[in-house]
Amino acid sequence: MISLELGEVLEQSRQGMHDLATNLFRPIARKYDIAEHEYPKELDLMRPAPKKEPAEGAEKKAEPPKEEKKKEKSKKPKFDNLSGVLSVEELCWGDVGLMLTIPGMGLGNAAIAAVGTPEQKMKFGALWAAMAITEPEAGSDSASVQTTAVLDGDEWVLNGEKIFVTCADRSDIVVVWANIEPSAGKAGIKSFIVEKGTPGFKLEHLEHKLGIRASDTGTFVLKDCRVPKENLLGNPEVKKKEGFAGVMQTFDNTRPTVAAMALGVARAALEFTKEKIEEQGFSLSYDKNVNNVSSLEKEFYIMEASLEAMRLLIWQAASMADAGIRNSLQASMCKAKAGKAGTQITQKCCELLGPLGYTQNNLAEKWMRDVKITDIFEGTGQIQHLIVARQLMKLSSSELK
């Protein structure tokens, strides 16, 4: 199940994103690689407009009645996920660090949209929400988070430490994972909305990173941090049977997105390399036996093929999600491939570019640093391989560790 040809609508939206990446992201890519921790104010252009009070009610009236709307929807094929990965590819072709720090588009926002109650969406939907999962002792093993939440009257009391929080400084609120019943293991893990400025919620420091420096990453300490009872996201019940599966399922949608980030960056590196190869008088003709061309051209062709392979695996996972087909296997497959191939392509581009690939006068060295994160966050490449193998062979996590 895959859409192999993009229709006109998708092609247009892709082009729109490409223009945005060209005009807004590329010109400031280096600036915020150097000015790490400084908020890229140029991105204010993308800040969502504050929600209007529904005073007039005029807009609501204009909408067709619910049933009719539903019918219309079901007729049209959906392309939400495919259009999503296309946008991400284009924006990350511009700059992945900037893409990760678009105001109002944090991972926490996705969580609120996915599992928030209508009241939570109303109250927090327009804010910029970061997501705090990882802890010093809970990296890939996100089920082992040690942060606790204890109900005390009408408030949850949170204690623990969260690291590697994207948009730590810039966000308005943070969605924090904590365990409300440690004896129940991972089934007790819930997420909480914590507003900035809440007593006991402190941004400890910001990290200095290998790449994606335009995106700030920080550590929070929660010390007797009290949040209102209604800030627990989703269902407060501890379901031992269901366990962690529900939480992990959200990754089915985000993994192709991360893979698309790798694709965008790798494509940027490859296009730049192509430009330089062609300046040297080589023309890529896509017909000769690869053993009869220069090794430079051969390497290029192999990388371009690999890039296509990444793209199609991503489209496959996204197309399946759009069609409502379970895609955990394909989501992990595309991320496993993209994280690895993206890293290899950007490294090889630097190699082929020689000094042009090592100097900060070009972006190639930056792309090599930036793309590496895609093989790490949202599940490392190794974790993706584990998931793929377990799913293929129906092995449990205790059988295949």
Which is nearer to other proteins, 183 or 398 (by Cβ)? 398
Q: Name the minimum Å distance from CB 274 to other proteins.
A: 13
Which is nearer to other proteins, 262 or 333 (by Cβ)? 333
Q: Does 44 bind other proteins (CB under 8 A)?
A: no
Which is nearer to other proteins, 337 or 369 (by Cβ)? 337
Contacts by residues 151-154 (CB-CB < 8 Å, ≥ 24 positions apart)? 151/180, 151/229, 152/226, 154/228, 154/229
Q: Does 9 bind other proteins (CB under 8 A)?
A: no
Pair 319, 2: CB distance under 8 Å: yes
Q: Which of residues 304-333 bind other proteins (CB under 8 A)?
A: 304-306, 308-310, 312-313, 315-316, 330, 333
Q: Does 292 bind other proteins (CB under 8 A)?
A: yes
Q: Which residues are catalytic?
A: 378
Among 63, 119, 275, 287, binds other proteins (CB under 8 A): 287
Angstrom distance (rounded) from CA 211 to CA 395: 35
Which is nearer to other proteins, 7 or 246 (by Cβ)? 7
Q: Name the minimum Å distance from CB 15 to other proteins.
A: 18
Among 113, 288, 354, 361, binds other proteins (CB under 8 A): 288
Among 7, 151, 389, 397, binds other proteins (CB under 8 A): 389
Q: Does 8 bind other proteins (CB under 8 A)?
A: no
Angstrom distance (rounded) from CA 342 to CA 323: 27
Angstrom distance (rounded) from CA 84 to CA 396: 31
Contact window for other proteins (CB under 8 A) among 12-20, 25-33, 174-182, 384-392: 384-392
Residues that bind other proteins (CB under 8 A): 1-2, 4-5, 286-292, 301-302, 304-306, 308-310, 312-313, 315-316, 330, 333-334, 336-337, 382, 384-386, 388-390, 392-393, 395, 399-401
